[in-house]
Structure 1
Amino acid sequence: MAVSSVPEPSYPGDDTLLVNVFTSAPGNPDARLPVFVWIHGGAYVAGSPSSSWYDGRAFNRDGVVTVSISYRLGFDGFGSIPGAPENRAVRDWLAALEWVQENIVAFGGDPSQVTIGGQSAGGGAVLTLLTMPRAQHLFRAAIVGSGTTDHVELHEARDQTETMARLLGIASNREAFADLDEDAILDAQDVVAPKSEPDAGRVVANALGDGRMRLRFAPVVDGPLVEYDVIEAVRRGIGSDKPLLIGATAHEFNMIGMAAQDAVADTQALDLLEKFGYDGDFAKRFVRELNISTPTDLVGQGITERLFRGSTELIASLRTCSTWLYDFRWKSPTIGIAVHCLELPYVWDHLDAELVSTSSGDNPPASLAREIHSSWVRFITEGEAPWPSYNFRRSGRTFDVESRTVEDPYRLSRDFLVARTPDNDVDPHILITKE
């Protein structure tokens, strides 16, 4: 299942829980270099740590040992199966970090200087670990790119398992699921968590109304291991003592707005915002400052704000210290916007990797890669980014053709989430153009 533009190959076989280690100091226990542990994205159902985009050579060049990890995906990783441990994927993350603590010295790394990082679902994994009491001793800092805060309640996970069992015609227990081959489980998983986009009216509701796009497989709030969802855990201050670098791209999932074309064909962006109860003055400011010209653009930006940018701002605002915020705004010359995953080759300073030109063009800006990569290296090695923390006037760094430090780069994202009056909500399906 392709869920991003990242080339992430899968390899057949049962022995999939592996780590990749990149180091410039193999067999040198005295090197004691800082360590960066990477968790890949893929909506918790896809992805791989073996992407050429995650080659650690640039981090090695700059004195950082890099580790990328794998974990069980989809129902295998997150399904609540009677007789099996909950949150098997989360346990995989913990096991990998424990392996790093026990073994990274042999690769020249320092187990007391571990920074965990991830993007998209990998960013969600990092947020989960950051807010888990059981994980606190396994790392000292965290980096989150375009992180999801999605979670699944235990009763929801159990209902999913019952649905899966009915689809497969088996008993709902570990033994019955273990007797099935992988393809059968994946087919049933695709029914429970379909790959297709929701209908046009629902896309509009997800972007501007009370609807919400959700991942069907995600960390389960089970109590013993994952005590709280990410936002609640941040509110409680769990992990707040650890430095956090967090950010998103400007137009993460804006292209999903195209799925709403039929629903908004006969309206205007400002009218659409007002129909959904957004304050008129805010609506004008939102459309003007983001250069939104069509209702489709508006719906796409709404999805981006709700799924990524709003939660990024919320997490930063809830933490009391040690938080650095970034905003990746450089627009792809081939797509025209700053989409999901676009920043990854720049973070890894690996612009010659496979398929980078598809999103970044034939001449990606090497200066942008040098700046972003060096900022990540600074954070990994020193526990701080080279710009003021968020706690100083909500400061953040915008990465663009000309990068700069600004005050409150996510102001519109914050306002978008509070500017709507729910009493003025509408049924999104009445907006669909009639033939």
Structure 2
Amino acid sequence: MLDDRMDSLDTPGEPVTVHAPAGTIIGRRTGRVLRFLGIPYAEAPTGARRFAPQRVPLFATTTVPEPSIPGDDVLNLGIVAPAADDDRLPFPVLVWIHGGAFLAGSPASPWYDGRAFARDGVVCVTVGYRLGVDGFAPLDDVLPNLGLRDLLLALDWVQENIAAFGGDPDRVTVAGQSAGGAAVLALLSSPAGSGRFHRAVSLSGGIFDVGTDAARDVLERLGHRLGVPPTRIGFGSRTVEQLQQGVIDLRNERGKGDRLALVPCVGDDILPVPIPDGLTVHGHGVPVLLGATGDEFDSGVGPEATAAARAAGTRVTDTLFRSACARTAAARRQAIAGTWLYSFEWPSPVLGGAAHCVDIPFFFDVLDAPGVPQALGPNPPAELATLMHADLVGFVRGQEPAWARATGGLGDPAREYGRPGAALAADTTGVFDPVVRAVSQAAEGC
């Protein structure tokens, strides 16, 4: 049944009913846009199901507005679709995975509202999944990677039910940003991802995986801080909020590296090998679009300092995010399907650069969403949003991007969006060369 708590826009509309294999689902129609929100794709992970297969905010402030939805029903999804009488049926489907370092974030952000996709004939699905300890702690008596298993289950739900909403189960694109983009790369590299989606998009998605020993070292320290053993029973005796606060305290105490320990874990049926190795084997029939912002977490340092740091290819932006683009393209050199790169270069006047997250409102074409002026200033270029959104819609529809494919080497082509002094979208080469050189030099030094 519809749960209106996730409707961040609080848009009035007439009731509409869909009869899907999962049951009867009631939504709302506003004009030619249908909204079905708070749909459970699995039982709430509480009690005995808490660590079974089937949040305090991480940061005091975030670029993306992240409304917190009360309750334990995190395994929900929302659907924004074109009206069923649209003559473009069936519609391609975009399944969106939110970011938040695998510890935080919300699928209910107004920046993820799919109304522009519905306008353009795409069904947009936003997914919630387990985070932090509940989603990614490798405990002895718990299946690993529960967060990824949640996402796979949501993709199965889409395959089985999306036709009832006008969606085409044979044209599903999985997409995400930051940790969501990293989850896309993890699913692309996984044998379990085969057949569940047909295209993939990763925005600022690093390659984040961890070995069991490293993750358990963090869990030992977390258990000590909370006064419980690092087991299913021990952590299960604490609320999600208490666990989240404990992780935040560890991060503040020992540095940001700890927050990257609760990420996809290598060594199970979902990720039998590290993500880069999996990318060389799996997902080769899936076209991939991926990229990063120009400055990610290194904005606000001034033009001259930015230029020098970019040339070195060793910023956090490069090592965590931009290098993942080149590494993914290189791993997919033998892929049948293509890999295409983009770089978002428009500098936010508020954040002092092309910072992490600022490309999202452009790709979603929601520059009027709450929180956008605070991150992008009063007049972000609407024509850039129109262009970027059209590129993404075209990819989701099955079109090949207009620029050349990438292979992960020097001089790789990429589409640059919003570089000052250039066209809104300029096809270029070499924008990822600094990180390619840095990765090659690091490999030679090993």
What TM-score do you get using the length of structure 1 for normalisation?
0.80
Distance (Å, rounded) in 2 between the aligned partners of 1:337 and 1:171: 44
- 1:372 aligned to 2:430? no
Q: 1:251·1:301 contact (CA, 8 Å) conserved in 2? A: no
* Displacement after TM superposition at 1:165 (Å): 2.6
Structure 1 runs (4+) greater than 4 angstroms displaced: 26-30, 195-198, 255-258, 293-301, 419-423
Query: Is it true that 1:398 corresponds to 2:407 in the alignment?
Result: no
**Cα RMSD for the two superposed structures:** 2.9
- Over the matched positions of the two proteins, sequence identity in percent amounts to 37
Report if aligned partners of 2:182, 2:208 keep a CA contact under 8 Å in 1. yes
Deviation at 1:291, TM superposition (A): 3.8
State the match for 1:337 in structure 2: 353
**For residues 30-429 of structure 1, what are the structure 2 equivalents within 5 Å?**
31-194=89-252, 197=255, 215-234=260-279, 236-255=280-299, 291-292=304-305, 302-320=315-333, 321=335, 322-391=338-407, 394-400=412-418, 401=420, 402=423, 403-419=425-441
Instruction: Provide the secondary structure at the position in 2 that maps to 1:370.
Output: helix
Q: Which has the larger helix fraction?
A: 1
Cα deviation, residue 107, structure 1: 0.5
Moved more, 10-19 or 27-36: 27-36
| Distance change in 2, residues 1:396/1:297 (3 Å) | closer
Helix, strand or coil: the match of 1:50?
coil
Normalization by structure 2: what TM-score?
Answer: 0.78
How far did residue 171 of structure 1 move? 3.4
Question: How far has the Cα of 1:292 moved from its partner?
Answer: 2.8
Q: 1:180 to 1:377 in 2, by over 3 A?
A: same
d(CA) in 2 for partners of 1:40, 1:243: 21
Helix, strand or coil at the partner of 1:341: coil
Could you say which structure has the greater relative contact order, defined with CA pairs below 8 angstroms and 6 or more residues apart? 1
Provide closer, same or farther for how the CA distance between residues 95 and 293 of structure 1 changes in structure 2, counting only shifts above 3 A: closer
CA distance in 1, matches of 2:396, 2:253: 36
Secondary structure of 1:254 counterpart: coil
Q: CA separation in 1, counterparts of 2:342 and 2:429?
A: 11
Distance 1:228 1:421 in 2: 19
2: CA distance, partners of 1:139 / 1:422:
36
Aligned equivalents of 1:14, 1:91: Cα separation in 2: 17
Secondary structure of 2:125's partner?
Answer: strand
More strand by share: 2
Greater alpha carbon shift after TM alignment, 137-146 vs 402-411: 402-411
Q: Distance in 2 between matches of 1:408 and 1:293?
A: 17
Residue type matched to 1:347 in 2? F
Q: 2:251 and 2:149 mapped to 1: Cα distance? A: 22
* C-alpha distance in 1 between matches for 2:433 and 2:199: 25
Question: Per-residue deviation at 1:361?
Answer: 1.5
2:281 corresponds to which letter in structure 1? Answer: G
Q: 1:296: Cα distance to partner?
A: 8.4
Query: Are the aligned partners of 2:311 and 2:434 in contact in 1 as well (CA < 8 Å)?
Result: no
Counterpart in the other structure of 1:263: none
Question: How many Å apart are 1:256 and its aligned residue?
Answer: 9.0
How far did residue 175 of structure 1 move? 2.5
Give the whole-Å Cα distance in 1 for the aligned partners of 2:147 and 2:386: 33
